[in-house]
């Protein structure tokens, strides 16, 4: 194995933990949203109640008789289609989450870097740009972990809670812990393997 392949393999190993970190962050945000579901639902109902009421004529549908065999065949087809879709979603969702998270974090860092350099009255050189954008990616990852944790802690203020508050906090802390561990392992391996920060997700 040549030097380039070794570097690529080390980078992939480091970024694998970064991918797990993004997945864990996604679970954190999903959990935070679930905790605020009652509030989101109340807002949705409030907005919906303010919309104009439309009168919809309900058409009566007369079902034609069908044989048991055709019903069974149709049901079997639906079940098979649902199973295939479920397997596809289970396989595709993690990779989609990782790619989207990586893209959002990197694009946010790239967008903020020139602005911060301008505020600091520094020239936007390649070296400074790469160094600052790498630091911003690290900071954004921290925000992605801390923000849903804070939201989970603030769920105590909700009048109607989805689950017991202590359970909500414990699960939030566990998920945040996993996110921290995965990202720390990513950066630790990057340091051990001498990987450039700009090559990390």
Range of the structural domain that residue 201 is part of: 7-37+100-201
90-110 pLDDT, tens digit per residue, is 667 777 777 888 888 888 888
The Cβ of residue 171 has, within 10 Å, a number of other Cβ atoms equal to: 17
Q: For residues 158, 164, 173 and 112, what is the CA-based torsion angle, rounded to 10 degrees?
A: -20
Measured distance CA(92)–CA(39) in Å, rounded: 30
In a domain, 46, yes or no: no
147 within domain boundaries: yes
Number of domains in the chain: 1
**Domain-located, residue 191:** yes
Evaluate whether residue 91 is within a structural domain.
Answer: no
Instruction: Output the tens digit of pLDDT for each of the chain's 201 residues.
Output: 566 666 688 888 888 898 899 989 988 998 998 888 877 777 777 777 765 444 444 444 444 455 567 767 776 787 777 667 666 666 677 777 778 888 888 888 888 888 888 888 888 888 888 888 888 999 999 999 999 999 999 988 888 777 888 999 999 999 999 999 999 999 999 889 888 877 787
Helices (H), 2-125: 3-35, 37-50, 68-119
**Greatest pairwise CA separation for the chain in angstroms:** 78
Distance from C-alpha of 185 to C-alpha of 164, rounded to nearest angstrom: 32
- Residue 187 CB contacts under 8 Å (≥ 6 apart), including other chains: 138, 200
Return the SS3 of 60: coil
Entry pTM: 0.72
> Sign of torsion, CA 141 147 148 153?
positive
């Amino acid at each position: 194995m040549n030097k380039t392949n070794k570097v690529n393999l080390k980078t992939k190993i480091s970024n694998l933990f970064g991918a797990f970190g993004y997945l864990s962050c996604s679970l954190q945000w999903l959990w935070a949203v679930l905790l605020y579901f009652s509030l989101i639902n109340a807002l949705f109902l409030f907005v919906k109640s303010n919309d104009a009421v439309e009168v919809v004529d309900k058409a009566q549908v007369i079902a034609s008789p069908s044989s048991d065999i055709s019903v069974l065949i149709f049901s079997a087809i639906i079940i098979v289609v649902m199973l295939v879709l479920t397997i596809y979603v289970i396989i595709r969702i993690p990779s989609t989450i990782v790619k989207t998270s990586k893209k959002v974090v990197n694009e946010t860092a790239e967008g903020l870097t020139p602005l911060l350099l301008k505020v600091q009255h520094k020239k936007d050189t390649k070296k400074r740009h790469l160094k600052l954008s790498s630091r911003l990616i690290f900071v954004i990852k921290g925000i992605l972990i801390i923000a849903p944790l804070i939201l989970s802690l603030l769920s105590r203020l909700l009048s109607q809670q989805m689950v017991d508050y202590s359970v909500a906090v414990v699960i939030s802390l566990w998920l945040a812990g996993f996110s921290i561990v995965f990202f720390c392992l990513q950066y630790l391996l990057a340091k051990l393997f001498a990987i450039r920060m700009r090559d990390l997700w």
